[in-house]
Structure 1
């Protein structure tokens, strides 16, 4: 008699889901701990070298980096959790027992897919509420070389744009509209492509006559003379949005603020295809966890005593790695404008969905 239920049975479904969730979380915790220790060893010296920084700042760095590591390696942990769970069940002949009871391959991995969908929901919420803020805070802190970050909302780092022939850089930009505040401003004044003068201002803000820079150092390239000015007004025609929209980092914005930035850029005629690809990827990346049980299911089938269990686990891992490579390649093509935004974000997902389903059907027996 063919079993047409979605799950094999409630006890088996809860048993497999529990094994899968525990192993995936254990892999994620192990990866995060090891990678965080290695990362902290590489940056602790630079952080502590800043006067006034201490142990609290190291913990602050950990608080910023751990969400980034979790966001990056959660789908990979789900893949490894799938392989460990299914390989263990196969090794203990539990998969054989379920198939002997009439349970199909899709019913065997159904509890894992449902549990992976819960991972995807948690991943999306975690990225939108925590990771984006951690990215923005860490980038702003790193931009001031682990020193004091100016207070303000919407802090952006390393903003650059052109103003006529001149190049304008701002190390930090905070606020919006006429309340925009600048720090670490550098202006390269050029005439017909030749550099003439370099202006360096410590801080700056909106002024009725333009942008007033404070504590300005002026270097004349032709004479080689450097002078200092208490203040300087520059660029009366520069709009505040040229600073706030010059660098829109999708990793630092949640899905709603990124959609608003895309609308603002589109309104002023700026290209938005790359940002649209990243907007769609905010939905596609968490859903990659749902794909991992299907790609790793190859480890569940085939007799363990045939000696091919390890080979099947390697095949499942290779499929997962291939997906991550294809996903990064597609989003890179989306950044260059070679792929449409929707295809760049969702193309690898549906491609490997078909590949995983094909492999599962071909290896079920």
Structure 2
């Protein structure tokens, strides 16, 4: 038996090429099908906004496709693993490699190497493309697919306390003193927490101190009267940095931006368990691609003429999909505080790495 972890250079390149072409093929198939189904669901809402047309449909596709790629890339690696190994087994290529003295780990080594490259590409793609697209898509959806804000730092559904009062904004753009709010609502509350007055404005800017409402409309709850006002300054104790830390969306921030947001929230005494779990999952999520060759390895071994190769492929697929179910469940438990963030993000990965390695050793090594 060879002592090197990888087989020969020729065999490594052959297996890696087979594997990566199937990963790309399966991913394109999944994304195209899911994108068409998703577009059928959302096209009515997009076109319902007056003036929207084909250009807006393409805009939605460009913002939604990165999310689908990021979500289903690990699934594609799993299906590509099973498809590649099943084909190699059916053509007796696995038997030839084992007859040449290669161990099961050496047969799988080129797939692991390719999966590591896929994981690195996935992490980079998530950080540079997916976070930006996710943030813009959420803001566009909150605006009912109206004009898309051009600011990449857009935040949506911001909720702030102004003493006993409440300040809400549909979207917030800009940073520091240049920060602006759109779709603003301000609620004055009495000592019992009952709303006594409401102010609504399409736009508000930071006036240092406070926020200046443009053309606000006042509604008095007691008299049920509505009044149109000139510009008005409210919430003088609310600073732009409070807006920033109150509207942290982990899916829309890169890992470095999320690190700073978590630090700001901790300094303000806010709970950050959910964000910490998502921070760790930004690493463990793309790295799950490395697990897929191990979980799908059952399709590679066992004699094709035994009639059990299909069953072994189904078992490998079931292991992979079970991992994704448990990973999502653990992350949800971490968000609710049931698990520490580190455990929620990494426990499923380590558990299924142990299971996959155990199955591989018990059956083949």
- Could you say whether these structures have the same fold, taking a TM-score greater than 0.5 normalized by the shorter chain as the test? yes
Shift of 1:79: 0.2
Other-structure match for 2:66: 67
Distance of aligned partners of 1:150 and 1:116 in 2 relative to their CA distance in 1, 3 Å threshold: closer
8 A contact 1:190–1:197 mirrored in 2 = yes
Q: Distance in 2 between matches of 1:196 and 1:290?
A: 57
Other-structure match for 1:115: 114
Q: For each residue in 1:92-112, what CA deviation from the matched residue of structure 2 results, as whole angstroms up to 9, or x when unmatched?
A: 111112112221111111110
8 A contact 2:210–2:236 mirrored in 1 = yes
3-state SS of the aligned residue for 2:333? helix
8 A contact 2:209–2:239 mirrored in 1 = no
Other-structure match for 1:165: 164
3-state SS of the aligned residue for 2:280? helix
Other-structure match for 1:89: 88
Q: Distance in 2 between matches of 1:166 and 1:28?
A: 49
Of 8-17 and 246-255, the range deviating more from structure 2: 8-17
- Give ranges in structure 2 of 5+ residues lacking alignment: none
What is the TM-score normalised by the length of structure 1? 0.96
3-state SS of the aligned residue for 2:148? coil
Other-structure match for 2:199: 199
CA RMSD across the alignment: 1.4
Q: For each residue in 1:334-354, what CA deviation from the matched residue of structure 2 results, as whole angstroms up to 9, or x when unmatched?
A: 212222221111111111110
3-state SS of the aligned residue for 2:187? strand
Q: For each residue in 1:171-213, what CA deviation from the matched residue of structure 2 results, as whole angstroms up to 9, or x when unmatched?
A: 0101122221000011232221222222211100111441111
What is the TM-score normalised by the length of structure 2? 0.96
- Give ranges in structure 1 of 5+ residues lacking alignment: none
Of 280-289 and 28-37, the range deviating more from structure 2: 280-289
3-state SS of the aligned residue for 1:227? strand
Shift of 1:137: 1.1
Other-structure match for 2:250: 250
Q: Distance in 2 between matches of 1:149 and 1:166?
A: 30
Distance of aligned partners of 1:355 and 1:291 in 2 relative to their CA distance in 1, 3 Å threshold: same
Other-structure match for 1:47: 46
Paired residues, what number? 364
Other-structure match for 1:19: 18
